[in-house]
């Protein structure tokens, strides 16, 4: 289960960020409380509205 606090952490202090071609913003952060997995949060173009959030098994910090 993804906790709201984790989403807030990703939005406010991401480890990585990429902007998609459609303007949506992808942000990732390592969540130690979730066995060190990376949580991806996709924001709408406004940079505030959360579109979705999920643990991204494929993400590798660069």
Per the structure block, which two tokens stand in for 60?
Answer: 């590798």
Indicate the Cα dihedral angle 12, 57, 2, 35, nearest 10°.
Answer: -90
Per the structure block, which two tokens stand in for 44?
Answer: 């709408």
pLDDT at 40: 98
Is the dihedral angle over the CA atoms 9, 11, 12, 13 positive or is it negative?
Answer: positive
pLDDT tens per residue, range 1-58 = 999 999 999 999 999 999 999 999 999 999 999 999 999 999 999 999 999 999 999 9
pLDDT at 62: 59
Question: How many residues in the chain?
Answer: 62
Q: Which whole-number Å values give the CA distances from 4 to 15, 21, 48, in the listed order? A: 17, 27, 14
């Amino acid at each position: 289960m993804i906790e709201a606090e984790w989403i807030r952490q990703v939005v406010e202090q991401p480890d990585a960020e990429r902007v998609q071609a459609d303007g949506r913003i992808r942000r990732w952060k390592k969540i130690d409380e979730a066995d060190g997995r990376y949580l991806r949060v996709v924001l709408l173009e406004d940079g505030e509205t959360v579109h979705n959030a999920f643990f991204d098994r494929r993400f590798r910090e660069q």
